[in-house]
Amino acid sequence: MSQLALPLAWPVDPGSDTYLIGPSNERAVRQLERPAEWPVRTALLVGPRKSGRSLLARIFAGKNGGIIIDDAERVAEPTLFHAWNSAQESGTPLLLVAERYPSAWGLALPDLRSRLAASPVAEIGAPDDALFRALLERQLAHRGLDARPDLVDWLARRIERSHLAALRAVDALDAYAMERRRGLSIPFARTSLFEAGLLSPVEPDPS
């Protein structure tokens, strides 16, 4: 598969929700585009919190007429067992969405364990550099905050590189800006994120 230019959004329709694609999630997106190639009619979508896994699942269901079960690790095992069997009988693709692999769910039903072990897994990884910056830019823009490149670069170098950390950082900046009635700047961001406990302790701040 050829490397995608970064960042991309899926689907392309500007009127719909979009899901930014980079190397950390490209393979998962491609797996969900082709459910006819799954070895069974059920697959799992696994990814960290705030990684957009639920959005990606909804896009999958809309494009393929599939059924999704979100937070699958919290659903009763008999329900998952019957849903898996029903998908095989009906031919309708079923997507189970979870934060962790089924091996970490503590499943008690051996038949369910074996069925999930036979199901392909589409995994969303931690965001790569380009995707992380794109996520920060989009979150800042959604809040009406200044997303100029130098500020985004500064944030990307100093906060934990995860989907959840990006959301928490923008939440903190938004709240601090509203409270102080000020625009964003790097010194402003440094103060607000330090107070929120979100600055990375690994890299010293040279600016």
Q: Which value, to the nearest 10 degrees, does the dihedral of the CA atoms of residues 147, 150, 156, 158 take?
A: -120
Place of tokens 């970490």: 104
d(CA 194, CA 186): 12
Domains of the chain, start order: 8-123 (3.40.50.300), 129-195 (1.10.8)
Which two structure tokens, joined as six digits, stand for 152?
């985004």
Q: Are 71 and 97 in contact (CB under 8 A)?
A: yes
Print pLDDT tens along the chain (207 aa).
Answer: 233 333 344 443 433 457 888 888 999 999 999 999 999 999 999 999 889 899 899 999 988 899 999 999 999 999 999 999 999 999 999 999 999 999 999 999 999 999 999 999 999 999 988 889 989 988 898 888 877 899 999 999 999 999 999 999 999 999 888 887 777 888 888 988 988 888 855 444 544
pLDDT at 25: 92
Q: What pLDDT score does 97 carry?
A: 97
From the number of C-beta atoms within 10 Å of its C-beta (0-12, 13-18, 19+), residue 13 rates as exposed
What confidence score (pLDDT) does residue 200 get? 56
Contacts of 33 (CB under 8 A, 6+ apart): 63
Helix (H) or strand (E) holding 11: none
Give the phi and the psi of residue 102 in degrees, each rounded to 5: -55, -25
How many CB atoms lie under 10 A from the CB of residue 131? 24
Distance CA 170, CA 173 (A): 5
Q: Which residues of 71-92 are buried (b: 16+ CB within 10 A; e: fewer)?
A: ebbeeeeeebbebbbebeeeee
Q: Is residue 137 within 8 Å of residue 131, measured between CB atoms?
A: no
